[in-house]
Amino acid sequence: MANSVSPSATSYPCGSTERTKLTHHPLRPFGRVVEAAGGGARIEDVPVPMLVRWTEESRVLVLRGFDLLGRQAFADYCRGWGEILKWEPGEVVDLVVQDDPKNYLFASGDVPFHWDGAFVEANPRYFFFQCLDATPGAGGQTVFSDTTRAYRDADQETRDRWSRVSITYSTDKVVHYGGEVTERLVAQHPATGLPVLRFAEPLAPEKYKNPVFAQVHGVDESEVDGFLGSLSELVHRPEYCYDHDWRAGDIVIADNFSLIHGRNAFTGPTKRHLQRVEVI
């Protein structure tokens, strides 16, 4: 599928006189990498409105050649974008695979599609990751699905059906989130106004630790399983999904409204360490 980003270069002032060259590479089917020539660039030196625009255009923005930030500096930087969602572990959440996890997020299996912040008051607008360490070739790609594209391609009958659906999600609070929430399937992006799908795949209790259950409203009881199955199949289609293979040093900014995301299973031992901050 076409991507609106063509390979191109921009530069921004770095210090008083120097300019750092940034090269843009489109990702498929969406997303972009912005690479700083020579490395050692500072994210703080790129104007936030520029990064916001690139993130909104591309949904997933990967910055390479930029210095990672210390834990507190990372949170402070993200505060420049908006209020930070505070989780129990703090503003910065460490994502690492654990040996004996209480929740599937910290296990080595796959993580089905969801959006972040379903079980808290405010849905984050953006999430920020920085990758402190990675094991290339060991799976664990973060998979982003662009629901604005899935909606755009749906026929009117399907859209009408979706518009009548809401889903109640529930999960026990074992780690940093839990509770019950009901969301309409179709929502509006707060910045672009485009329709988005707020869909989290239900998790089978026999497969996932600390599963999420979904109760569907607006669909006949006998059709619920088929409805959820076809929605899952749709958002997994390759034309809507970008798989991000992490490299140490990546900084990734993603749009938590247009996208839902999940993770492929790890295929071997991994030392991957991501830090995540979410901005409302």
Q: How far is the CB of 127 from Fe ion (least distance, A)?
A: 8
**In this complex, which beta carbon is closest to Fe ion, that of residue 65 or of residue 261?**
261
Would you say 176 and 87 are in contact if contact means Cβ atoms under 8 Å apart?
A: yes
**In this complex, which beta carbon is closest to Fe ion, that of residue 41 or of residue 134?**
134
Q: What's the CA gap between 13 and 15, in Å, rounded?
A: 6
Q: What's the CA gap between 158 and 264, in Å, rounded?
A: 28
Q: How far is the CB of 29 from Fe ion (least distance, A)?
A: 20
- Alpha-carbon separation of residue 176 from 118, 236, 259 (angstroms): 12, 27, 21
Q: How far is the CB of 128 from Fe ion (least distance, A)?
A: 13
3-state secondary structure of 169: strand
Contacting residues toward Fe ion, per CB under 5 A: 116
Instruction: Tell me which residue of 129, 135, 140 sits closest to 93, measured CA to CA.
Output: 129
Measured from each CB, the residue nearest to Fe ion is: 116
Q: How far is the CB of 261 from Fe ion (least distance, A)?
A: 6
Q: What's the CA gap between 254 and 34, in Å, rounded?
A: 13
Q: How far is the CB of 152 from Fe ion (least distance, A)?
A: 23
**In this complex, which beta carbon is closest to Fe ion, that of residue 26 or of residue 109?**
109
Q: What's the CA gap between 129 and 251, in Å, rounded?
A: 6
**In this complex, which beta carbon is closest to Fe ion, that of residue 116 or of residue 250?**
116
**In this complex, which beta carbon is closest to Fe ion, that of residue 95 or of residue 228?**
95
**In this complex, which beta carbon is closest to Fe ion, that of residue 116 or of residue 255?**
116
Q: What's the CA gap between 159 and 225, in Å, rounded?
A: 18
Q: What's the CA gap between 42 and 36, in Å, rounded?
A: 9
Q: How far is the CB of 168 from Fe ion (least distance, A)?
A: 19
In residues, how long is the chain? 280
